[in-house]
Amino acid sequence: MQQQICRASAAAWKGVPSGALLRPERNGAAIVQARHTAIYLAHVVFGCSLTRAGAMVGRDRTSARHACLRIEERREHPPVDRALDALEAGIRLWFRTFGTGEAS
C-alpha cells in the first residue's frame, strides 16, 4: 500500500497516470519528475531503502539515489518545497487515519 500511495500522490501532483511511472522508458519530463517524487516520498515518508524505493517503479538503487538528489535540488524552489511538504504531510495523515503501514 505504501508504494501505491507514493506513486498515486506523485502522479496526481504532476498530472500523469500512475501506471506511467512503471514504464521502463522515460516518457517525458512530467513522468520522470513524478517517478522521482514517488521514489523520494517512499524513502523520506516511509524510510524505504533506496533499493526498495527504486524497485517500486522498476529502477535500481543508483537510479533511486539520483531521483532523491534531484528532488532535494528541486526543493530549493519555494513552490516545489511547499508542494512536497504538503504531499508528505498528506501521506502521513492518511496513514495515521486509515492505513496500516508506518508513516511517522
The grid coordinates listed for 87 are 504531499
What 8-state DSSP symbol labels residue 68? H
Domain residue ranges in the chain = 2-97
How confident is the model at residue 103, as a pLDDT? 59
Provide the total of helices (H) and of strands (E) in the chain, helices listed first: 5, 0
Do residues 75 and 69 make contact, with C-beta atoms less than 8 angstroms apart? Answer: no
**2-97, CATH topology level:** Chromosomal Replication Initiator Protein Dnaa; Chain: A; (1.10.1750)
Residues in the chain where the model's pLDDT stays below 50: none
Do residues 41 and 64 make contact, with C-beta atoms less than 8 angstroms apart? Answer: no
Of 5, 12, 2, give the one whose Cα is nearest residue 83.
Answer: 12
- Global confidence as pTM: 0.91
